[in-house]
């Protein structure tokens, strides 16, 4: 495994080895010792996955303190454009977005620290997105920002979105409790 820096403090791309042979492929996605040696939070409490149609936009999701969490995201089938926005008020990158294409071949996934909103756009039907989080879901602290307000060009006129995601405030109207 390799930890790749991004321009955002605490946000990393994690590169795994994608072993391929006549049977198919194999990837090791998590190694406790690697996470500990690299100062990465690895006390995961919940695992999720979503199966998505093409042109779905999910996000921008996070949980408020004290139920905020670090999250890792990877794709086990298909392709997505993964997007995070720094919502830590005193961060040099506050309000800025980072994006990366994740798929089931490159062996990359994203390590997202507390204080980032997360979302994605699916690029293929049947894309499966997996998440591991360091806190359990808490309905009272579940939150989000309108994905269309974060300054990222999703490249879609009519994305498929949930009713819940449509209710989120814009980034400029969100009073963030997060800081570095």
Distance CA 60, CA 116 (A): 9
For residues 96-121, give the mean pLDDT. Answer: 97
pLDDT of residue 130: 97
pLDDT digits (tens, 9 = 90+) for 12-29: 999 998 888 999 888 888
Distance CA 141, CA 129 (A): 22
Phi, psi for 33 (deg, rounded to 5) = -60, -40
Q: Which candidate in 74, 109, 111, 131 is catalytic?
A: 131
For residues 68-81, give the mean pLDDT. Answer: 97
Q: Which candidate in 48, 49, 61, 111 is catalytic?
A: 61
pLDDT digits (tens, 9 = 90+) for 110-164: 999 999 999 999 999 999 999 999 999 999 999 999 999 999 999 999 999 999 9
pLDDT of residue 18: 85
pLDDT digits (tens, 9 = 90+) for 38-70: 999 999 999 999 999 999 999 999 999 999 999
Token pair in block for residue 169: 């405030």
Q: Which has the closest alpha carbon to 83: 63, 48, 46, 56? A: 56
pLDDT of residue 64: 98
Token pair in block for residue 135: 């806190």
Distance CA 112, CA 114 (A): 7
| pLDDT of 167 higher than 90 | yes
| Helices (H), ranges, the chain | 32-37
Distance CA 171, CA 83 (A): 14
| pLDDT of 180 higher than 90 | no
Does residue 61 carry a catalytic annotation?
Answer: yes
Distance CA 90, CA 178 (A): 8
Distance CA 116, CA 97 (A): 9
pTM over 0.85: yes
Q: How confident is the model at residue 5 (pLDDT cuts 50, 70, 90)?
A: very high
Q: For residue 114, give the 3-state DSSP assignment.
A: coil
Q: Residue with structure tokens 């980034």? A: 171
Distance CA 6, CA 20 (A): 27
pLDDT of residue 19: 87
For residues 100-108, give the mean pLDDT. Answer: 95
Distance CA 76, CA 1 (A): 17
Strands (E), the chain: 2-5, 12-15, 18-21, 24-27, 46-52, 57-63, 71-77, 79-86, 97-103, 108-112, 116-122, 127-133, 142-144
């Amino acid at each position: 495994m390799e930890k790749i820096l991004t321009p955002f403090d605490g946000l990393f791309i994690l590169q795994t080895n994608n072993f391929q042979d006549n049977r198919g492929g194999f990837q090791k996605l998590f190694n406790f010792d690697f996470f500990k040696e690299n100062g990465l939070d690895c006390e995961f409490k919940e695992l999720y996955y979503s199966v998505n149609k093409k042109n779905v936009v999910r996000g921008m999701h996070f949980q408020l303190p004290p139920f905020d969490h670090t999250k890792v995201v990877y794709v086990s089938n298909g392709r997505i454009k993964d997007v995070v926005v720094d919502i830590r008020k005193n961060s040099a990158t506050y309000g800025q977005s980072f994006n990366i294409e994740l798929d089931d071949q490159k062996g990359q996934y994203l390590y997202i620290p507390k204080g980032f909103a997360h979302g994605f756009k699916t690029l293929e039907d049947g894309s499966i997105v997996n998440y591991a989080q360091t806190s359990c879901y808490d309905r009272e602290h579940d939150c989000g920002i309108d994905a269309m307000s974060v300054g990222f060009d999703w490249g879609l006129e009519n994305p498929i979105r949930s009713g819940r995601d449509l209710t989120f405030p814009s980034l400029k109207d969100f009073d963030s409790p997060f800081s570095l």
